[in-house]
């Protein structure tokens, strides 16, 4: 079956419409493709065997040698301008109004974190479409040169000490992940080795003596996750990152916005859209928004379900010498929302809890700044909130170049 790709779907796969609709990975509008095999997945037909017969004039050469094999940056064959256009069109269609997407200030070297699989299948990233295979990598261009340095050191350590490597199918072996994090504005580097239960050779930290912080964490479970219980640490307890004038501490077990250069624009956007005096930072994490807003004179209270994130938010508050209160709590249990001039919402991908949506509609705080990493749940929540709110501003920020993901910030005002 042969035809021309006319558009990209929400996940960035090319769409070919013949008598049925096919979704074809790594293709772009204008490509002429021949599809030989496909499989049904989540009610879509995904091509598994196909050729690009005539490449589209839109294509560009991917900068990464692992493109197409690694499960990460699936849009590298699209020029960056086209990636941003695709995200802007997607958000505009969804929200029914023109939504501009602010491009990432950097499109390589921007990621401040990578989670590298260390396994019998290789040291690198999961092979696209598999949960068990890995593609060996030497450097990750979206992270930058220090990934090459850390991976070289890790390979030297493996060669010298021959620790066993994890086999995920059998749940056997010692080394499982290495997580590399870097403060892009501070240059500080963290290496966190995640292993199964076992003995780590004493010499391990010597291989990473250039890193500011080295951790060994243990994940005893069969779950394929890149964190564990901290067993030992060397060097600094935290590395730091800076967004504008605000400094944040990073710990191996804490989340931080992964694109620091664009996170500067994100916190500034949220600050510009916040009004009044009292702000609730709901889903506050490590206080990324709350601490930045407190620095701008807002009276901030944060609520977050993860106690460790709350502890980090408190430390970040102290570090920046500001006044803000962070509490452990559930989204649906927040008290009277009408007490706040602005409520900042940054929920996980699943969006707002239905009880919270009801509460917002009942209390109707005057200003809401909704930060979303999932356009689908954003749309569902907005559909409900628009009963009492109107959208006064919507903008996309490309936090994740070369992927189909996009962050959206929507300012809502209560209708009078
Ligand atoms: C997208 S992150 C945002 C973190 C933070 N705003 C930031 O930028 O670093 C979503 C946060 O919501 C928290 N969370 C998830 N479910 C929650 C719930 N039911 N109630 C409160 N917080 C929740 C997660 O722990 C996570 O920190």
Which residue minimizes the CA distance to atom 16 of ligand 1? 305
Catalytic pick among 182, 188, 301, 407: 407
Report d(CA 109, CA 186) in Å as an integer: 14
Residue 373 is a catalytic residue: yes
Domain that holds residue 19: 1-58
On whether residue 17 sits in a domain, the answer given is: yes
Q: Could you tell me which residues come within 8 angstroms of residue 333 by beta carbon, excluding any fewer than 6 positions away? A: none
Termini Cα distance of the chain: 56
Task: Reply yes or no on whether the pLDDT at 335 is more than 90.
Answer: no
Q: From the CA of 283, how far away is ligand 1's center (Å)?
A: 4
The verdict on 264 and 233 lying in the same domain is: no
CATH number for the domain spanning 332: value is: 3.40.50.150
Mean pLDDT over 248-266 rounds to: 97
Report d(CA 400, CA 262) in Å as an integer: 9
Number of domains in the chain: 3
How does strand 299-304 pair with strand 278-282?
Answer: parallel
Answer yes or no: is the C-beta of 288 below 6 A from any ligand 1 atom: yes
Catalytic pick among 301, 318, 373, 387: 373
Answer yes or no: is the C-beta of 206 below 6 A from any ligand 1 atom: no
Report d(CA 411, CA 185) in Å as an integer: 28
Report d(CA 29, CA 47) in Å as an integer: 16
The verdict on 269 and 225 lying in the same domain is: no
Of all residues in the chain, the percent with pLDDT exceeding 70 is 100
Task: Ligand 1, residue 344: give the atom nearest the CA.
Answer: 6
- Helices 307-319/288-295 angle, 10° precision: 20
Tokens, residue 24: 């074809």
On whether residue 83 sits in a domain, the answer given is: no
On whether residue 365 sits in a domain, the answer given is: yes
Q: From the CA of 289, how far away is ligand 1's center (Å)?
A: 12
Task: Ligand 1, residue 284: give the atom nearest the CA.
Answer: 6
The verdict on 277 and 404 lying in the same domain is: yes
pLDDT digits (tens, 9 = 90+) for 156-202: 999 999 999 999 999 999 999 999 999 999 999 999 999 999 999 99
On whether residue 364 sits in a domain, the answer given is: yes
Q: From the CA of 332, how far away is ligand 1's center (Å)?
A: 12
Tokens, residue 97: 């109004």
Q: Tokens 């995920």 identify what position?
A: 168
Mean pLDDT over 123-131 rounds to: 93
Q: From the CA of 360, how far away is ligand 1's center (Å)?
A: 17
The verdict on 292 and 400 lying in the same domain is: yes
The verdict on 117 and 171 lying in the same domain is: yes
On whether residue 249 sits in a domain, the answer given is: no
Report d(CA 250, CA 312) in Å as an integer: 8
The predicted pLDDT at position 365 comes to: 98
The verdict on 214 and 152 lying in the same domain is: yes
Residues 220/195, Cβ–Cβ less than 8 Å: no
Q: Tokens 């430390």 identify what position?
A: 315
Task: Reply yes or no on whether the pLDDT at 245 is more than 90.
Answer: yes
The verdict on 210 and 274 lying in the same domain is: no
Q: What's the mean pLDDT when you consider all of the chain? A: 96
In whole angstroms, how far apart are CA 52 and each of 38, 105, 322? Answer: 15, 32, 56
CA-wise closest residue to 184 among 104, 125, 126 = 104
In whole angstroms, how far apart are CA 32 and each of 57, 86, 243, 264, 398? Answer: 11, 19, 44, 40, 28
Instruction: Determine the residue of 266, 285, 399 to mutate for testing ligand 1's pocket, defined as the one with the most ligand atoms within 8 A of the Cβ atom.
Output: 285
Task: Reply yes or no on whether the pLDDT at 155 is more than 90.
Answer: yes
Q: Tokens 């010298």 identify what position?
A: 160
The predicted pLDDT at position 32 comes to: 97
- pLDDT classification of 1: cutoffs 50, 70, 90: confident
Is the CA virtual torsion 255, 259, 261, 265 positive or negative?
negative
Residues 265/257, Cβ–Cβ less than 8 Å: no
The verdict on 299 and 232 lying in the same domain is: no
Residues 342/274, Cβ–Cβ less than 8 Å: yes
Which residue minimizes the CA distance to atom 11 of ligand 1? 283
The predicted pLDDT at position 123 comes to: 96
Mean pLDDT over 126-134 rounds to: 92
The predicted pLDDT at position 319 comes to: 98
- Residue 200, strand partner residues: none
Q: From the CA of 286, how far away is ligand 1's center (Å)?
A: 9
Residues 270/246, Cβ–Cβ less than 8 Å: no
The predicted pLDDT at position 129 comes to: 85
The verdict on 48 and 117 lying in the same domain is: no
Task: Ligand 1, residue 256: give the atom nearest the CA.
Answer: 9
On whether residue 244 sits in a domain, the answer given is: no
The predicted pLDDT at position 73 comes to: 92
On whether residue 245 sits in a domain, the answer given is: no
The predicted pLDDT at position 27 comes to: 95
Task: Ligand 1, residue 286: give the atom nearest the CA.
Answer: 9
Which residue minimizes the CA distance to atom 27 of ligand 1? 285
Answer yes or no: is the C-beta of 374 below 6 A from any ligand 1 atom: no
- pLDDT classification of 416: cutoffs 50, 70, 90: confident
pLDDT digits (tens, 9 = 90+) for 268-297: 999 999 999 999 999 999 999 999 999 999
pTM: 0.95
The verdict on 318 and 408 lying in the same domain is: yes
Report d(CA 341, CA 233) in Å as an integer: 42
Mean pLDDT over 210-230 rounds to: 97
Q: From the CA of 285, how far away is ligand 1's center (Å)?
A: 5
Residue 407 is a catalytic residue: yes
pLDDT digits (tens, 9 = 90+) for 13-29: 999 999 899 999 999 99
Answer yes or no: is the C-beta of 408 below 6 A from any ligand 1 atom: no
Which residue minimizes the CA distance to atom 6 of ligand 1? 284
In whole angstroms, how far apart are CA 305 and each of 79, 228, 286? Answer: 39, 19, 11
On whether residue 63 sits in a domain, the answer given is: no
């Amino acid at each position: 079956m042969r035809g021309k790709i006319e558009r990209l779907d929400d996940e960035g796969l090319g769409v070919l419409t013949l008598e049925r609709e096919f979704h074809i990975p790594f293709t772009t509008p204008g490509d002429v493709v021949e599809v030989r095999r496909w499989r049904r997945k989540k009610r879509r037909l995904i091509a598994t065997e196909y050729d690009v017969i005539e490449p589209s004039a839109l294509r560009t050469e991917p900068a990464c040698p692992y493109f197409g094999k690694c499960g990460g940056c699936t849009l590298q064959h699209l020029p960056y301008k086209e990636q941003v256009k695709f995200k802007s069109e997607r958000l505009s269609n969804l929200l029914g109004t023109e939504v501009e997407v602010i491009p990432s200030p950097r499109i390589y070297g921007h990621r401040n974190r990578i989670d590298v699989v260390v396994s019998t299948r290789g040291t690198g990233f999961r092979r696209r479409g598999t949960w068990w295979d890995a593609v060996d990598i030497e450097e990750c261009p979206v992270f930058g040169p220090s990934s090459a340095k850390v991976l070289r050191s890790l390979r030297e350590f493996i060669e010298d000490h021959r620790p066993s490597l994890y086999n995920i199918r059998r749940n056997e072996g010692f080394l499982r992940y290495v997580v590399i994090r870097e403060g892009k504005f501070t240059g500080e580097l963290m290496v966190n080795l995640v292993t199964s239960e076992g003995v780590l050779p004493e010499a391990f930290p010597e291989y990473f003596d250039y890193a500011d912080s080295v951790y060994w964490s243990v994940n005893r479970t069969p779950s394929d996750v890149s964190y564990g219980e901290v067993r030992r640490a060397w060097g600094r307890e935290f590395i730091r990152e800076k967004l504008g004038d605000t400094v944040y501490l990073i710990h191996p077990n804490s989340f931080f916005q992964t694109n620091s250069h664009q996170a500067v624009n994100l916190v500034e956007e949220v600050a510009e859209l916040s009004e009044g005096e009292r702000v609730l930072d709901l889903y506050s994490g490590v206080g990324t928004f709350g601490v930045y807003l407190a620095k701008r004179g807002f009276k901030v209270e944060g609520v977050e379900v993860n106690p460790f994130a709350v502890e980090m938010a408190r430390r970040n508050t102290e570090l920046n010498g500001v006044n803000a209160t962070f509490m452990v709590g559930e989204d649906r249990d927040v008290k009277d929302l009408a007490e706040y001039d602005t409520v900042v919402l940054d929920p996980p991908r699943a969006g707002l809890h239905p009880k919270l949506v009801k509460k917002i509609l009942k209390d109707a705080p005057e200003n809401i700044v909704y930060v979303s990493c999932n356009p689908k749940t954003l749309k569902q929540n907005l559909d409900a909130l628009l009963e009492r709110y109107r959208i006064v501003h919507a903008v996309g920020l490309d936090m994740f170049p070369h992927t189909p993901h996009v962050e959206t910030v929507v300012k809502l005002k209560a209708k009078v």
